[in-house]
Amino acid sequence: MQNQITKLRELTREYRTYDDELRTLNAQVYGLRETRKGVEVLMIDILKQDGFNEFKHLKLEDDGSVIKIQRPQTWSKPFSLSQSELKGFLEVYFDVHKLGNGEDCFNYIVQEKKADIVSNEFAITRTVAK
């Protein structure tokens, strides 16, 4: 038993070391994401101007990566449903339609969520060449 307690102490300290390192790295990642978001805002300010309406991609020749530009009202954000949201949609659907099946129900939910997921924002995504 004593050997197991000693081993557990060692593993607990090792765990702490990795956890501390992850916390430090996550803080750095958060800072980098905030900085990148600031650069995106500056890019979007330029892309909103006349003359840039047709820009859909920006290619970086030095590394072959591509930045995809998605304009407002042209793309949909991914979505998820909580159980309560799903339950609410199903209750409304079956109450209104009285008859239905799984496919009809699914299509109804997707249509109802589409209004929420059509983005009113720009999105910038970089794809790195392989």
Q: Which domain holds residue 82?
A: 56-130
Q: Identify the pLDDT of residue 120.
A: 86
Single out the residue in 13, 30, 53 at which a domain terminates: 53
Q: What is the pTM of this model?
A: 0.66
Q: Is 49 in the same domain as 60?
A: no
Per-residue pLDDT of the chain (130 residues; tens, 9 = 90+): 999 999 999 999 999 999 999 999 999 999 999 999 999 999 999 999 999 999 999 999 999 999 999 999 998 888 888 888 888 888 888 888 877 667 778 888 888 888 888 888 887 777 777 7
Contact 70, 126 (CB under 8 A): no
Q: Is 81 in the same domain as 42?
A: no
Q: Is 116 in the same domain as 70?
A: yes
Q: Is 80 in the same domain as 117?
A: yes
Q: Half-sphere exposure of residue 18, counting CA atoms within 13 Å on the CB side?
A: 5
Q: Identify the pLDDT of residue 110.
A: 83
Q: Is 35 in the same domain as 90?
A: no
Single out the residue in 32, 53, 74 at which a domain terminates: 53
Q: Is 85 in the same domain as 42?
A: no
Q: Identify the pLDDT of residue 109.
A: 83
Contact 116, 79 (CB under 8 A): yes
